[in-house]
């Protein structure tokens, strides 16, 4: 990324300077988000959601509208030619690039956003591809940390839950590698982060430890990053039932946290955070939703502005 | 509602002054609907349709666009996290409130719009919840009556069809309670309005009578409000078959009405009004559709303006 | 069409003067498509897609946004009253005409767009009805030919693939009848164009020949118009398997074409054009997608401007 952002496919494509630039612009967007602007008037964003998503899609749409742009696309592959008529992703992209100024794509296959970017003449933003990458989520997570804790360098963070399949923790882990951060990996044994990923994080200079219990994960950290544990990941449902209660954050567990620690979650949650926790000062996951809008405004502005 | 409208959840939350104010603003919107305005430029409406609807959704969207605003959301719960991932309504609302300036919600469960409003920091408009409430429909019905008959006080109206399950007649009945109106309830025995609702209407000062046949319902009234009789409400399909012909409004039945009476219908209709009736001077149900746009413009303007 | 375009239902409703006017306006839209305009600000387009389509729907939406307008509607009949509640097309149209300034309709039944136009007070554009008509596709095809070959009169064109069921070749054939054009019909025997259509084309003054093989079709023409051969059209799948390889355009087949000939395709393609062909100078089907946007901008502007 020299001068101007073109595609946003993987957190790995960004330098620390790139990330810092995006976070700075996100902070500037706080005011624009309220007052609205016409900076992207006449620009068109195509949302291609091959996999359904409320949050990410609506967040991008809200960001685009606050900058004065327009949105077209599909929320469901069933209503697209790619669904019914067997069109290749390459052909869909080479078609949609004629309709819009930027493509936001979510797809169930790893590498799909990269393929889209290779075929596209217009910028492509990865809104979640397969189980590997969700770079705008990682950027909004970083922005939330910086906004709420005042800094990223020097913080300690626990990544909790499904570290094996969760694409948000993968992207966040890679993003944190640019900073001076202590990371605790908190997962039940079947959902531990893959050794290769841990090795990469350590190589990048992160201080990484692994713990087995949520209790251990909650203590002595600035940020607790919770994720869903999905039933369908377990071959034996009894294994899931045995585990889920142990990775549930309730008021008692919040009591183990530092008073000034914060809880983040990419949402949606199912029952891994008790609703009682929502009213604690540590609960920041709905503020994090707002961070998603300003971060995506910054990304759209940097790409199209 | 003091000074400015915030939520619109139930007709019961509105005073007569509130309703009259909305109707006055609706009349003013007739010109704006043609010329269009930029009064809500930069404002975002989130449409959360957990239950499909063409008419109500597109009517709200048309209203928002005519005032210069933008629209995001979903038309189908299947493409939302609430569908696939089991998110609670409370969490969906606390997310979407970060993306928009007003939420328009349709949901299959009674009380859902109220729950949404309790969790939302931004205004919530009920676009139909369960079998109980559809307040914007009631307001556009009142506006249609006032526009077409010149007044609401002093009129007589027959509510015809499914009075037991139809949410539009429930909301309209409650709205009419604020006015000096004579009401005939015209339903086949299995679909009669619940005694509790009738008691409430009488207590509010309405003159209410019940009749069994459509013929009785059509005579000597200013307004005939037709609704669909849904096959699936009957345990025995033969009972439905026996009834449906008797609650069908054709040219012969229109002949029983006063010359200056009007026919309204919330639409969609199936076969309870013969298409031949469409060209009679009494048929006003498509003009009523237009009333839906101006009434919703007025509501959006009062809430967001 | 005198002075101003109202509906666009069938290519047969247009004179040569009408078509030439639309093509001239399409050329003017090339610049507007880049710079964007506010010519249709405040105008609302309703997209009623009873049959799914990515390309046509997004192309119309892109055209409308580039002219400053707004879009509402449905991409899927399942979320509409016409789907779930059995509403007639006439009622849907008489409702939606109150919400918008123009209706764009795609429907699986022949004649549906004509029916819509008969009931509508606002202009209706046919975006594909049944197997017979797709007039905006024919117009964008003509525009592509004129732009890329510099003229329409005097060219020779091969229409290849499914000529029996393909609505794009029907509409294009009818559109070409206004020009001095030589047409080769290139189809496997079970998918030949109906004799009645061929008779009409000849009567209109076109020089028409029929050939059985793609090789014959590719030689000595200015334009090769490819279409999909759909498996489901064949009662016996072995018949399909035997044919599909013979109607596949690869690099070897492109070698049979004139150097300055062009390949068009309404898209989506499945495997009737080898991806290797995409990088040949003859491949113009993605430029044709762009022509779709400017042609639809011209049509919307002529109707609403």
Q: How far apart are CA B17 and CA A88, in angstroms?
A: 59
Which residues from chain B sit within 8 angstroms of residue A270, using beta carbons?
Answer: 85-87
Q: Which two tokens stand for residue A239?
A: 């294994």
Please give the positions of C annotated as active site: 55-56, 85, 106, 134
Instruction: State whether A272 and A188 are in the same domain.
Output: yes
CB contact under 8 A, A58 and B96: yes
Residue A73: φ, ψ to 5°: 140, -160
B56 is catalytic: yes
Find which of A47-61, A84-98, B42-56, B146-160 is predicted with most confidence, using mean pLDDT: B146-160
Mark whether B241 and B140 lie in a shared domain. yes
Please give the order of strands across the beta sheet that includes A207-211.
A207-211, A182-186, A156-160, A223-226, A262-264
Give residue ranges of C with CB < 8 Å to any A CB.
35-36, 49, 52-55, 58-59, 61-62, 65-66, 71, 75-76, 267-270, 275, 286, 289-290, 292-293
pLDDT digits (tens, 9 = 90+) for C224-272: 999 988 777 777 888 888 877 788 999 999 999 999 999 999 999 988 9
Q: What angle separates helix B285-304 from helix B55-66, to the nearest 10 degrees?
A: 50
Supply the range of the domain harboring residue A227.
135-289
Say yes or no for a CB contact (<8 Å) between A268 and B98: no
The verdict on a CB contact (< 8 Å) between A286 and B100 is no
Are residues A244 and A162 located together in one domain of the fold?
Answer: yes
Q: What's the total number of domains in chain B?
A: 2
Strand partners, A133: A129
Q: Does the residue B6 lie in any domain?
A: no
Subunit contact C270:A85, Cβ cutoff 8 A: yes
Q: Would you say residue C2 has pLDDT above 50? A: no
Q: What residue spans of chain B are helical by DSSP H? A: 16-35, 55-66, 81-84, 89-96, 112-119, 135-149, 167-176, 195-203, 214-218, 237-244, 251-254, 285-304
Q: How large is the average pLDDT for residues C182-197?
A: 91
Statement: residue B84 has pLDDT above 70: no
Q: Which residues of C touch B36 (CB under 8 A)?
A: 41-42
Q: Are residues C80 and C145 in the same domain?
A: no
The answer to whether residue B298 sits within a structural domain is: no
What CATH number did the domain enclosing B142 receive? 3.40.50.1370
Looking at the domain assignment, is residue A8 inside a domain?
no
- Per this entry, what is the length of chain B? 305
Give how far Cα A216 sits from Cα of A158, A186, A192, Å.
Answer: 10, 8, 15
**C192 within domain boundaries:** yes
In B, which residues are within 8 Å of C46 by CB distance?
58
Question: Are residues A190 and A179 part of one domain?
Answer: yes
A228 part of the active site = no
In this structure, the answer to whether residues B89 and B76 fall within a common structural domain is yes
In this structure, the answer to whether residues B141 and B285 fall within a common structural domain is: yes
Instruction: Extract the runs of DSSP E, i.e. beta strands, from C108-213.
Output: 124-129, 156-160, 182-186, 207-211
The residue of chain C nearest to residue A100, with distances taken between CA atoms, is C62
Q: DSSP string covering A60-71, please?
A: HHHHHHHTT-EE
Note whether B92 contacts A54, CB cutoff 8 Å: yes
Angstroms from A43 CA to nearest CA on chain C: 8
What pLDDT, in 10s, does the model give residues A2-45?
Answer: 456 899 999 999 999 999 999 999 999 999 999 999 999 999 99
- Of the candidates B55, B65, B75, the beta carbon closest to that of C44 is on B65
Which chain B residues are closer than 8 Å to C80 by Cβ? 52, 54
CB atoms within 10 A of CB A28: 13
Asked if residue A193 has pLDDT above 80, the reply is yes
Q: What is the pLDDT of residue C270?
A: 86
How confident is the model at residue B85, as a pLDDT? 67
Q: Which chain A residues have a beta carbon less than 8 Å from that of C286?
A: 94-95, 98
User: What is chain B's mean pLDDT, rounded?
Assistant: 92
Residue of C nearest to A69 (CA): C65
Same domain, A118 and A140: no
Nearest to A54 among B44, B81, B88 (CB): B81
Q: Which of B44, B72, B85 sits opposite A268 (nearest CB)?
A: B85
Interface test with C, best of B268, B276, B278, B287 (most C CBs within 10 A): B268
Report pLDDT for A2: 45
d(CA B112, CA B103): 13
Please give the Cα distance from B12 to B16 (Å, whole number): 10
Domain boundary among C87, C112, C133: C133
What is the least distance, in Å, from the CA of C83 to any CA of chain B? Answer: 10
In a domain, B243, yes or no: yes
DSSP lists the bridge partners of residue C48 as C74, C105
End residue of a domain, out of A83, A102, A133: A133
Residue contact A94–C66, C-beta within 8 A? no
Any domain includes C185: yes
- From chain A, the residues in CB contact with C268 under 8 A are 81-82, 85-87, 91-92, 95
Considering only the beta carbons, identify the residue of A79, A86, A95 that sits closest to C270.
A86
C289 CA: distance to closest CA in chain B (Å): 27
Examine residue B276 and state whether it is found in any structural domain, yes or no: yes
Structure tokens at A60: 């991008």
Q: C87 CA to chain B: closest CA distance, Å?
A: 6
Tell me, yes or no, whether A259 and A173 share the same domain. yes
Summary mean pLDDT of chain C: 92
pLDDT value at residue B238? 84
- Output the pLDDT for position B4: 66
Give the whole-angstrom CA distance, residue B220 versus residue B183: 11
What residues of chain C lie within 8 A of the CB of A82, using their CB? 54, 268
Same domain, A121 and A167: no
Per-residue model confidence (pLDDT) at position A72: 97
Q: Which residues of A touch B119 (CB under 8 A)?
A: none
Q: What is the mean pLDDT of residues A116-137?
A: 94
Given C80, C106, C133, which residue is the final one in a domain? C133
Question: Are A116 and A145 within one domain?
Answer: no
Encoded tokens for B192: 């009669």
Q: Is the pLDDT of residue C205 over 80?
A: yes
Q: Which of B30, B55, B284 is the best residue to mutate to test the C interface, defined by the most C CB atoms within 10 Å of its own CB?
A: B55
* ipTM (interface pTM): 0.94
pLDDT score, position C132: 79
pLDDT above 70 as % of chain C: 96
Would you state the pLDDT for residue C79?
A: 56
* pLDDT (0 to 100) of residue B102: 98
Using a CB–CB cut-off of 8 Å, the residues of A that contact C are: 41-42, 44, 46, 70, 72-74, 76, 78-88, 90-92, 94-96, 98-100
Optimal mutation site among C33, C35, C55, C285, interface A, most CBs of chain A within 10 A: C55
C67 falls within a domain: yes
Order the strands of the C44-49 sheet from edge to edge.
Answer: C70-74, C44-49, C102-107, C124-129
| Whether A139 and A276 share a structural domain | yes
Give the HSE-up count for residue C80: Cα atoms under 13 Å, Cβ half-sphere: 24
- Inter-chain contacts counted by CB atoms under 8 A, chains A and B: 76
Q: Which is catalytic among the residues A25, A43, A57, A134?
A: A134
């Amino acid at each position: 990324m020299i001068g101007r952002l073109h595609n946003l496919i993987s957190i790995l494509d960004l330098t620390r300077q790139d990330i810092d630039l995006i976070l700075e612009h996100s902070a500037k967007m706080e005011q624009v988000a309220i007052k609205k602007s016409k900076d992207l008037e006449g620009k068109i964003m195509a949302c291609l959601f091959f996999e359904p998503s409320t949050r990410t899609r609506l967040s991008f749409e809200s960001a685009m509208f606050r900058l004065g742009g327009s949105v077209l696309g599909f929320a469901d592959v069933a209503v697209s030619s790619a669904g019914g008529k067997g069109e290749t992703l390459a052909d869909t992209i080479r078609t949609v690039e004629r309709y819009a100024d930027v493509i936001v794509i979510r797809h169930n296959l790893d590498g799909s956003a990269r393929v889209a970017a290779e075929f596209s003449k217009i910028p492509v933003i990865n809104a979640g591809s397969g189980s590997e990458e969700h770079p705008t989520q990682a950027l909004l997570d970083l922005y939330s940390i910086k906004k709420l804790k005042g800094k990223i360098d020097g913080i300690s963070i626990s990544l909790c839950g499904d570290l094996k399949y969760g694409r948000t923790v993968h992207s966040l882990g890679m993003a944190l590698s640019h900073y001076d951060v202590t990371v605790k990996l908190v997962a039940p044994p079947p959902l531990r982060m893959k050794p290769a990923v841990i090795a990469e994080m350590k190589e990048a200079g992160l201080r990484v430890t692994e713990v087995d219990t949520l209790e251990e994960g909650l203590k002595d950290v600035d940020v607790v990053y919770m994720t869903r544990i999905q039933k369908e990941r377990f071959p034996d449902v009894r294994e899931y039932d045995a585990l889920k209660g142990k990775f549930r954050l309730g008021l008692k567990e919040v009591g183990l946290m530092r008073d000034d620690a914060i809880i983040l979650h990419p949402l949606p949650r199912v029952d891994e955070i008790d609703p009682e926790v929502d009213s604690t000062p540590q609960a920041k996951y709905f503020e994090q939703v707002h961070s998603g809008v300003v971060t995506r405004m910054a990304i759209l502005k940097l790409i199209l502005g």
